[in-house]
Structure 1
């Protein structure tokens, strides 16, 4: 969706302040971290495939070992957030100039995008994100990796990567394929979820079973997750997450074309375009990135468990899990109200934020609830933050429980 018009008129210093207090949409993964299995038989459908239980289908996903494939993936995300252009405007930066893989892939947090992917084992992969007339490409070929941003004209090159897998940066990037999303969803299992086989489908010209995952708890903003699983290969071909409030899918990621044959070796060769600036991994830009990364790690230390009691506090279980975090001013959860000069909002910012959220109160005190279609966040007046893919009522109840 387009950036909010009223926000477009906000002075830049205030935009930076608002961005500092924003809760990342990536915490939506908290809600998909705990699911259980309830066996069910496949319903009739087209194509006509042999019946299979949910347990058998999940086992088939786990056993899938298709290390060679190529294809096109369509990614549509509608969390009710501003477009990445709007998010860049909040920080006072031009998103088209973003150079890191994390910044580029965060573009997938809103709108519709096309990805072209190819893989030939753990040491050869290619991912291209097409965005209008621009593209961002990541290529790995053995111990060598390239990242190219057509907008900035910069190519980042690294050598000496570990064999047999991705390096730390690649492992930390957001999941962008149906297989990665399904793997995270099924990683942790308990009894809070119904998992059934909901018929069959055709995806990217291939027969597939539909694995349907639904919360058995009330209070979740997630209605269901549907994973289309290739009947022959066991590879997830499509991942669709629908909010409990209905409407269009909040996340819809699926292959429109897929080939499980060996990709041509040329897919993993990269030649910098003429005129592109090539930055080597050990160059000055790499030092700047390491410096920025160090600052980011330092800033996240307060969110780690066991850091002087300021780590996240997990409230509830399963789909209604809520995480209590340290406040934006750096105060640990439960700390006294922050005053001026300790990270408090500047004059006028509180009034601006009031227009973006809903004021609530309870045993925890008072605060503001900020909503998306999937993730809600409660920021209390004394500097605590509660986040979860839960309803406003469930979020307030969690904050009240934490205050007891």
Structure 2
């Protein structure tokens, strides 16, 4: 196997950060939070069947190869796993998001029921456990993702200006028209604007894009040998924080040697153990998928929710001015919620150890049993989920996962990031003294 150069400082690769915004240095803590608060039991990291002998490349050349990759057509199977170290919620997450369970989740929009097939709800289920997905793409206007379950399947299909989603378990479908992948406004007509379905990354390429946006001078990037993934020869690109205090240990991306397409993404925490996120192709074909792959018609008897119907209530809500509106019952001593309470976000530090600081609405900490706001049993559960800490800032509670940690102080401030508990306390102390 060809030798590989020692670790490369990414300050030499500034020209590679095509389209990266100034704030991109904060993307990994935030994007990884979205991916984690948003992703993956565990697929063995970068499972290989031998290390192929490939020509030597530098980290800069490999990042260029990824940036230049223009894979428009593919189909295959992806296995995605998350292990955030959280207790299992079973089907609760999907139930809350969908407004209920089973075939009765659809309900009436005005009653807040929503649709069991709504992508914003369904794809969030990828945030925990292990899932198998079938994916297909044919250019920017045709994509399909199917989540395979034990006795059911959920499919999200984008074909031209239409998006269909179908949940076979509940026999519900979700339909949106006027969709444009560019993010531009769709055909308004009488139905409002069509928007892309919100969800978490579902392929190694989407995960890798988020990680590469955060590459800056706080990051070490190197090529660490080769691998074979889904029968394809690949280089292994390793991304690591240079700073101490991050919960991110390393990110490994297996990059297809021929196309530059990321085939596998693995995020390992600094604490060690199983990967927090592991997503990779187990089968992949870069040929053109059959046109029928992207055809869909709802089965007979399926409940169909139109996107404009489902979003009508939210558009009405969005159009109103709620500044200085009281969302609580003043008769019960509630505090007034103001729009400006959400506009005090600050970012402390940079790169992998950046921390978001914000105030909770109302300027007070978590409700407690002592204040009469929380039942004693609920307080015990809350206490069991967090660690009590104190410092110059006062006292508070740290809620932890294997990747994202958040400190909620008793005076209503929140410090959150992909950093250790000690880093949060240090940031809160520094902010208090500032």
TM-score scaled by length of structure 2: 0.74
Equivalences for 1:314-333 in 2 at 5 Å? 314-327=347-360, 330-331=361-362
Q: 1:244 to 1:351 in 2, by over 3 A?
A: same
SS of 2:196's partner is helix
Contact in 2 for aligned 1:28/1:389 (Cα 8 Å): no
Per mean C-alpha deviation after superposition, the further-off stretch among 173-182 and 90-99 is: 90-99
**Unpaired stretches in structure 1, ≥5 consecutive residues:** 1-25, 33-44, 299-305
Q: 1:150 to 1:337 in 2, by over 3 A?
A: closer
> What's the offset of the Cα at 1:355?
1.6
- Kindly provide the CA deviation profile for residues 53-86 of structure 1, in whole angstroms up to 9, marking residues without a partner as x: 0000001000000011111110010001233526
Contact in 2 for aligned 1:324/1:384 (Cα 8 Å): yes
Contact in 2 for aligned 1:122/1:165 (Cα 8 Å): no
Q: Matches of 2:94 and 2:238 in 1, distance apart?
A: 38
1:83 alignment counterpart: 88
1:17 alignment counterpart: none
1:346 alignment counterpart: 374
SS of 1:390's partner is coil
2:67 alignment counterpart: 62
2:40 alignment counterpart: none
1:5 alignment counterpart: none
Q: 1:363 to 1:239 in 2, by over 3 A?
A: same
What is the total number of aligned residue pairs between the two structures? 351
> What's the offset of the Cα at 1:145?
1.5
Q: Matches of 1:338 and 1:182 in 2, distance apart?
A: 36
> What's the offset of the Cα at 1:165?
6.1
Q: 1:73 to 1:176 in 2, by over 3 A?
A: same
> What's the offset of the Cα at 1:172?
4.1
SS of 2:70's partner is coil
Are residue 184 (structure 1) and residue 189 (structure 2) matched?
no
SS of 1:355's partner is helix
SS of 1:402's partner is helix
Give 1:102's match in structure 2, choosing from 120, 131, 151. Answer: 120
Q: Matches of 2:343 and 2:314 in 1, distance apart?
A: 27
SS of 1:113's partner is strand
Contact in 2 for aligned 1:82/1:110 (Cα 8 Å): no
Give 2:153's match in structure 1, choosing from 135, 140, 143. Answer: 135
SS of 1:85's partner is coil
Contact in 1 for aligned 2:181/2:196 (Cα 8 Å): no
- Over aligned residue pairs, what C-alpha RMSD do you find? 3.0
Contact in 1 for aligned 2:179/2:195 (Cα 8 Å): no
Q: Matches of 2:248 and 2:159 in 1, distance apart?
A: 38
1:279 alignment counterpart: 305
- Kindly provide the CA deviation profile for residues 334-358 of structure 1, in whole angstroms up to 9, marking residues without a partner as x: x466889xx9942434443112111
Give 2:425's match in structure 1, choosing from 383, 396, 400. Answer: 396
Equivalences for 1:1-400 in 2 at 5 Å? 27=30, 29=32, 46-85=51-90, 87-88=92-93, 94=100, 97=105, 98-162=116-180, 169-170=195-196, 172-283=198-309, 285-288=310-313, 290=315, 307=340, 310-327=343-360, 330-331=361-362, 335=363, 345-348=373-376, 349-400=378-429
- Kindly provide the CA deviation profile for residues 152-183 of structure 1, in whole angstroms up to 9, marking residues without a partner as x: 21111222223766877436432111111111
- Kindly provide the CA deviation profile for residues 179-234 of structure 1, in whole angstroms up to 9, marking residues without a partner as x: 11111111133211110001000001000000001111111111110000000000
Q: 1:131 to 1:326 in 2, by over 3 A?
A: farther
Q: Matches of 1:344 and 1:379 in 2, distance apart?
A: 19
Q: 1:117 to 1:316 in 2, by over 3 A?
A: same
Q: 1:73 to 1:357 in 2, by over 3 A?
A: same
Contact in 2 for aligned 1:75/1:112 (Cα 8 Å): yes
**Unpaired stretches in structure 2, ≥5 consecutive residues:** 1-28, 36-49, 106-115, 187-193, 324-338
- Kindly provide the CA deviation profile for residues 243-272 of structure 1, in whole angstroms up to 9, marking residues without a partner as x: 111111110000011111111000000021
Q: Matches of 1:90 and 1:361 in 2, distance apart?
A: 36
> What's the offset of the Cα at 1:288?
4.2
SS of 1:239's partner is strand
2:44 alignment counterpart: none
Contact in 2 for aligned 1:378/1:395 (Cα 8 Å): yes
1:38 alignment counterpart: none
2:26 alignment counterpart: none
Contact in 2 for aligned 1:84/1:107 (Cα 8 Å): no
